[in-house]
Amino acid sequence: MPGIHYYDLRHVTGQVTLIDIDNGVVESAGTSFFNKAVIRVLSKTGWGVLQIDNYTPCTGKKFEAILDAACRLAKITQEHVILGKAPHGILPVPPMKEDPRDVCIEEKSSLLSGIEQAARHPLVVNTRANFIEKIENVHFVDSSENEYFYEVCRSGFNVLAVASRNGNVQMGYEREHSIHGFNLRHKQSCGKKAAEIATALLDAGAAKAGKMRAVLDPELAGVFAHEAVGHASEGDLVNEGNSVLKGKTGQKIGNENLTIIDDPGIHEFGFDPVDAEGVAVCRTEIIKKGVINAFLHNRETLSSVGNGIAGHARAMPGEPPLVRMSNTFIEAGDSTEHEIFEECRNGIFLKGSRGGQVDPGRGIFQFNAEYGYLIENGECTTMVRDVSLSGEILVTLHKIILCGNDRTMSPGYCGKGGQSVPVSDGAPHILLYDAVVGGSGVD
Amino acid sequence: MTRWWVAVAWIDQLLSEAQKSVDEAEVFFVKGTSVSADLKQRKVNLATFSEDYGLGIRTIHKGRIGSSSTNNPGQWRECLLAAVASGKLATPQEWKGLPDPVHLSRTPLSFDASISIEPQVVIELIEKMLEGAEEHPADVAAGSASLSSGRVTLANSNGVRYTNKYTGVSLSLEAIHGQSTGYEFDHSCFLDKVDPVSVGEKATFFAMESDNGKEIATGEYDVLLSPLAYGELLGNVFTPALSGRNVHAGRSRFAQSLGEPVTDLQITMYDDPLLKKANGSVRWDAEGTPTRQVVFIRDGILETFAYDLKTAYRFGKTSTASAIRGGFGGLPSIGHHNFIVDGKRAAVADERVIYVHNVVGAHTANPMSGDFSVELSNAFWMIGGEYETPIRSAMLSGNVFDLHHTISGLSKESRAIGSMILPSIRINKQRIIGK
C-alpha cells in the first residue's frame, strides 16, 4: 500500500487459569479467555499502531482498511524510522513434561491446597497459595511475508506464609514458575520452607545500614544483573539518552570476572521462540569480561544506536513491542561458595529477592533481599530481615570481586512501559565489596 | 440511555441464561477507546489507537462464587459456563445476596464531554509539554500523552442496571541533564484540569536542578516527602493494611488496632468516592453497592477497614462499597476510589529540611512489617520553601507505619497521585544512609 514502509501483526489468543487458596478457603478457581491483536504500520514519519480486542483474522479489503487506519494515525508522527536488518526465524518450543491442560482443575486445586497446608505452623497466621497457568497462541505476520505460529504455556505457583508474634509480622514466600509444564506435584516442601522462613524472621534483627562486604545468593545476584545492568543496556533507553551506558561500548566498567548475558533462546521462564517483531532470538553478551560489549535491541534501535543485537523485542498480548530482557544472567566464574564466604570474612549474606528498581539515566539501582545473615569469620551467623542494596551502576560493577561456579536461574516478571512480561534472572553466588546496604537497625 | 441498553441486550439474555443454573449472577462490562502519542526525545515516534473490551461474569450458587472473564463479549456463553464451573470448586461461604437496584443520579462524576479521542488533541498536549520543557536546559528523553473514554456497565440478576461514562487524560515527561534525571506527570478525567506546560517545565527543572548533587553523611534528618514519594510508600504498604480481607486473613499490621492511634493525631484518612472531578469518583462500586464517604482514620484513631460484599458477608460486617476492579474484566477486590490524607495544614518547608521528590524501589518494602529502604530521587536541601543544594545519592530507611506517628506537618497544597489525593508530609528524624 502507498505510504506504508512496513507492517506487522501480532495476534495472541489464549486462556488463563487461576486458583487462589487463602487460609484454606478456595477463593477462586477458574478460567478466563483473551483475544488481542496489535497492528503496527511504519510510514515515512513513524509508527501508527492499532490495538484491537477480539481480532478476527482477515485478508483483502478488510485488512487493507485496518492498515489504512493505522497509516492515518501515523500521520501525526515526526520521526523518520529506519529498521535495521536482522535474521528471521523461529526456535521450536520445548515439549512439556506434563501438559497442565491434561490435569483437571479439581486435581490442580487439591495439589495447590497441599502446598498451602504445608505452610501451616503454630506461629503462622496466614497461608496463601496461588496457581497460574497461561496459554498463549501467537500468530505473527509482517509485510515481508515472514509468518510464525507458536503456542507457549507458562504455569506455576506462589505460596506465602505470614507469621506473627506480639505485633511482629513477617513473611516467607516461595515460588516456582516454568515453561516445562505442570509443576504442582510433590511441592509441599515449598510451603514448608515459606513457613520456616516466616517464623525464623520473627527472631531476626533489623540489618544495620552502611557500607560493607556482601555475598549475594544466585537469585538476588540475578536481580542485580537485571536491574543494574540489563535495563541500562536496553536500546530504546540508550537511544533516548536515558542510560548511563550510552556511548560506553568498549569501555571497562567491571572486573575481568564479570560477564552478563541476555538470551531469549534458552529454555527458562523468559523463553521466546521468536521475538515480537519476527526476529530470530539469540544470545547477547552485554558485558564481556568487564567490558561493555553489546546492547539489547529491536530493529529500530539496532539501526539508530548500533552496537548490539536485535531479537529483544517483547510484548504483552495486544501491546506494541518494547526492547526487553528475557533470561538475564551473570556467567558462572570459578570460585566455590566456600571460597566466596572465606574471602568475605565479615559482612552480610543477602538471600532471595523482593524485587528491585532502577533509574537507568542516573545509574542508580535499588533492590531488596527477602532476608539475610551476618557473615562473621567466613561463617553465616545471625539472621537479619529487611535488607536492601542500592548503589550506582558504574561504581558497583567494579566491586564484584568473585563470581561462584554455581549459577542458577529464577523466574519472575518485569514491568516496563505498563507492560509486564515473564523473565528469568540468574547468577552464581557473588562477592561485592563496599556494598551500600540499607536496613533500619541501629547500634 | 435506552439506546445503550438495546446495544447490550445480550446482557439481559446472559443473566436469564445464568439463572437457570445459579442463584445469582452479575455482569461487569467495559468498552473503551484511547489514543496516545509517544515521544522519543523531542519527536513523536509512535501513535497508538486502541479499542478495549472487558466482560467479567460472577455467579453465586449456595454461597459458592464463580467467575470468569473474556475480552470478547460475543463469547459470553463460554464465559458463563466457565464461571459456573469455577463456582463448583469455590469454598461455600455466608452470602446474603448481590445488591438490589437503588435510584442513583445518572450524571457521571468523572466524565468530560469535551474530550474527543482524536490524535490531534494528544499532539497539542505534547506540544505544550515540549514548550514547558524549554524553560530549563535539560534534554527531553521520552514522554507521552494519552486520552481515553469509555463506558462501564454493571448488571445483576436482582435488577441492577447501572452504566457510567468516564474519560481520562494523562501526561508524562522524562528529562535528563548530564547524569541527572527528572520525571513529571499529570492525569485527570477532565482536560482542563491537566497542565501540560507545567509537566514539561517540572521534568526539565528537576533534571537540571538535581545536577552536581552533593553527598550526604549518614544520620537522622527531617524529611519532606512530596505527594509522589509519599504515595509510593502509602500505596505499597499502608493502604493494603486497611483492607478488610488482609485484616481478617492476618496480613495486616492493623488487625488489632481498631480504636487505637495509628498515626499522628492530626491526621485523617478517608475515601471520598463522590468528590466532583476527582479521578476515582463513582456513584456505585465494582459490585453495585452505592458509594459513600468512608473515614478510616479520624484524628489519628483507626475507625474502620474497607470491605467488599464477599469479605463483609464472611466476617459479619457491612460493605463499605470499596470494591474496585483492576483493568478490563478483572474480578472485584478491595481498594479505594479517592483516598485522601488530610489534617491541619502548615508551612512545612520554612525550616531546613530534606525535600524528597521521588523514591526508587518502594514496592520492595515489607508489606507486613512496613520496613523499607528506598533510594532517593530528586532530593534537595530545602529552606524557606526554596531548593538549596541537590543531594547526589542516598537511601532513606525506616518503617512506613512508624513514620506516620512522627508526621510533624502537612503541606497546604494536595495533589492527585493515581486514586490518592495527598499533601507533602514532613517527618522528623528519619534515617538517611549516605554513600
**Is B386 in the same domain as B425?**
yes
Distance from CA of B375 to the nearest CA of A (A): 6
Confidence at residue B1, expressed as pLDDT on a 0 to 100 scale:
54
Q: Which residues of A427-439 are buried (b: 16+ CB within 10 A; e: fewer)?
A: bbbbbbbebbbbb
Say how far apart CA A127 and CA A115 lie, in whole Å.
10
> Which of A128, A212, A388 to probe by mutation at the B interface, max B CB count within 10 Å?
A388
Confidence at residue B184, expressed as pLDDT on a 0 to 100 scale:
97
DSSP secondary structure letter of residue A98: B
The answer to whether the Cβ–Cβ distance between B67 and A442 falls below 8 Å is: no
Q: How many CB atoms lie within 10 A of CB B356?
A: 27
**Is B362 in the same domain as B294?**
yes
Distance from CA of B383 to the nearest CA of A (A): 25
Say how far apart CA A315 and CA B431 lie, in whole Å.
40
CB of A34 within 8 A of CB of A14?
yes
Cell numbers standing for residue A19: 486458583
Q: Look at strands A313-314 and A322-323 and give their pairing.
A: antiparallel
Say how far apart CA B40 and CA A78 lie, in whole Å.
10
Q: Is B212 on the interface with A (CB under 8 A)?
A: no
Q: Compare CB distances from A440 to B72, B364, B397 and report the shortest one's residue.
A: B397
| Residues 265-284, chain A, touching B (beta carbon < 8 A) | none
Q: Which residues of B131-153 are buried (b: 16+ CB within 10 A; e: fewer)?
A: ebbebbebbbbbbbbbbbbbbbb
Residue with cell string 514519519: A45
Question: What does the pLDDT average to over B130-150?
Answer: 97
> Which of A10, A44, A77 to probe by mutation at the B interface, max B CB count within 10 Å?
A77
Mean pLDDT over all residues of chain B? 95
The answer to whether the Cβ–Cβ distance between B253 and A75 falls below 8 Å is: no
Nearest CA in chain B to A246: B179
**Is B161 in the same domain as B235?**
no
> Which of B86, B121, B358 to probe by mutation at the A interface, max A CB count within 10 Å?
B86
Q: CB-based contacts of B118: which residues, under 8 Å, 6+ apart? A: B35, B147
Q: Compare CB distances from B69 to A32, A53, A69 and report the shortest one's residue.
A: A32
Contacts of B377 in chain A (CB under 8 A): 359, 362, 364
ipTM surpasses 0.90: yes
> Would the CA dihedral through B40, B46, B51, B55 be positive or negative?
negative
Say how far apart CA B297 and CA B270 lie, in whole Å.
7
Say how far apart CA B370 and CA A176 lie, in whole Å.
26
Say how far apart CA A441 and CA A289 lie, in whole Å.
37
Q: Compare CB distances from B40 to A171, A240, A318 and report the shortest one's residue.
A: A240
Q: Is B228 on the interface with A (CB under 8 A)?
A: no
**Partner residues linked to B70 by β-bridges:** B55
As a three-state string, the secondary structure of A214-234 is EEECHHHHHHHHHHHHHHHHE
Q: Which residues of B79-111 are buried (b: 16+ CB within 10 A; e: fewer)?
A: bbbbbbbbbebbeebebeebbeeeeeeeebbbb
% helix, strand, coil for chain A, step of 5: 20, 45, 35
**Is B73 in the same domain as B122?**
yes
Q: A352: helix, coil or strand? A: coil
CB of B319 within 8 A of CB of B400?
no
Question: What does the pLDDT average to over B21-28?
Answer: 97
Question: What does the pLDDT average to over B275-303?
Answer: 96
Confidence at residue B2, expressed as pLDDT on a 0 to 100 scale:
60
**Is B187 in the same domain as B228?**
no
**B284 pLDDT above the threshold of 90:** yes
Contacts of B401 in chain A (CB under 8 A): none
Say how far apart CA B269 and CA B414 lie, in whole Å.
13
Q: Is B83 on the interface with A (CB under 8 A)?
A: yes
Confidence at residue A3, expressed as pLDDT on a 0 to 100 scale:
86
> Would the CA dihedral through B209, B210, B212, B218 be positive or negative?
positive
User: Which of B159, B174, B206 is the C-terminal boundary of a domain?
Assistant: B206
Confidence at residue B4, expressed as pLDDT on a 0 to 100 scale:
73
Q: CB-based contacts of A407: which residues, under 8 Å, 6+ apart? A: A218, A329, A330, A331, A332, A426, A427, A428
Cell numbers standing for residue B29: 462490562
Distance from CA of B67 to the nearest CA of A (A): 7
Confidence at residue B8, expressed as pLDDT on a 0 to 100 scale:
83
> Which of B210, B395, B399, B431 to probe by mutation at the A interface, max A CB count within 10 Å?
B395
Say how far apart CA B218 and CA B221 lie, in whole Å.
9
Burial status of residue B389 (CB atoms within 10 A of its CB: 0-12, 13-18, 19 or more): middle
Q: CB-based contacts of B333: which residues, under 8 Å, 6+ apart? A: B245, B308, B323, B324, B325, B326
**Is B195 in the same domain as B247?**
no
Residue with cell string 512522627: B406
Q: What is the CATH number of the domain that holds B17?
A: 3.30.2290.10
| Residues 303-322, chain B, touching A (beta carbon < 8 A) | none
Q: How many CB atoms lie within 10 A of CB B117?
A: 20
Cell numbers standing for residue A348: 552480610
Q: Compare CB distances from B46 to A77, A170, A171 and report the shortest one's residue.
A: A77
**B7 pLDDT above the threshold of 80:** no
- Split at pLDDT 50, 70, 90, the class of B329 is low
Q: Compare CB distances from B90 to A24, A28, A34 and report the shortest one's residue.
A: A28
Range of the domain at B65: 2-206
The answer to whether the Cβ–Cβ distance between B45 and A79 falls below 8 Å is: yes
Lowest mean pLDDT among A332-336, A390-394, B4-8, B69-73: B4-8
DSSP secondary structure letter of residue B237: I
**B328 pLDDT above the threshold of 80:** no
User: Which of B189, B206, B223 is the C-terminal boundary of a domain?
Assistant: B206
**Is B185 in the same domain as B217?**
no
Burial status of residue A276 (CB atoms within 10 A of its CB: 0-12, 13-18, 19 or more): buried
Q: Is A380 on the interface with B (CB under 8 A)?
A: no
CA distances from A260 to A247, A267, A312, A426, B373 (A): 18, 17, 15, 10, 26
Say how far apart CA B280 and CA B286 lie, in whole Å.
12
Q: Compare CB distances from A54 to B53, B179, B363 and report the shortest one's residue.
A: B53
Phi-psi region of A307 (alpha: psi -120 to 50; beta: other; left: phi over 0): left
CA distances from A203 to A122, A190, A322 (A): 15, 21, 44
Q: Is B33 on the interface with A (CB under 8 A)?
A: no
The CATH architecture annotation of domain A6-203 reads 2-Layer Sandwich (3.30)
Q: In chain A, which residues have pLDDT < 70?
A: 442-443
Q: Where are the domains of chain A?
A: 6-203, 206-438
Q: Residue type at B323?
A: A
**Is B287 in the same domain as B146?**
no
CB of B424 within 8 A of CB of B227?
yes
Q: Which residues of A322-339 are buried (b: 16+ CB within 10 A; e: fewer)?
A: bbbbbbbbbbbbebeeeb
Confidence at residue B179, expressed as pLDDT on a 0 to 100 scale:
87
Beta strands in B205-331 (DSSP E): 219-225, 267-271, 294-298, 301-302, 323-325
The answer to whether the Cβ–Cβ distance between A242 and B395 falls below 8 Å is: no
**Is B233 in the same domain as B162?**
no
> Would the CA dihedral through A36, A418, B364, A361 be positive or negative?
positive
Percent of chain B with pLDDT over 70: 99
Cell numbers standing for residue A398: 567494579
Summarize pLDDT for B398-409 with one digit per residue, the tens.
999 999 999 999
Say how far apart CA A410 and CA A177 lie, in whole Å.
8
**Is B242 in the same domain as B159?**
no
Q: How many CB atoms lie within 10 A of CB B399?
A: 20
Phi, psi for A393 (deg, rounded to 5): -50, -50
Residue with cell string 536496613: A439
Task: Pick the closest to residue B262 from B247, B282, B276, B245 (CA basis).
Answer: B247
Q: How many CB atoms lie within 10 A of CB B7?
A: 12
CA distances from B44 to A73, A78, A83, A265, A365 (A): 12, 5, 17, 33, 29
Summarize pLDDT for B116-125 with one digit per residue, the tens.
999 999 999 9
Q: Is B253 on the interface with A (CB under 8 A)?
A: yes
How many domains does the structure of chain B reveal? 2
Say how far apart CA A152 and CA A94 lie, in whole Å.
9
Q: Is B372 on the interface with A (CB under 8 A)?
A: yes
**Is B166 in the same domain as B220?**
no
**Is B227 in the same domain as B110?**
no
Say how far apart CA B244 and CA B248 lie, in whole Å.
6
Cell numbers standing for residue A433: 565489596
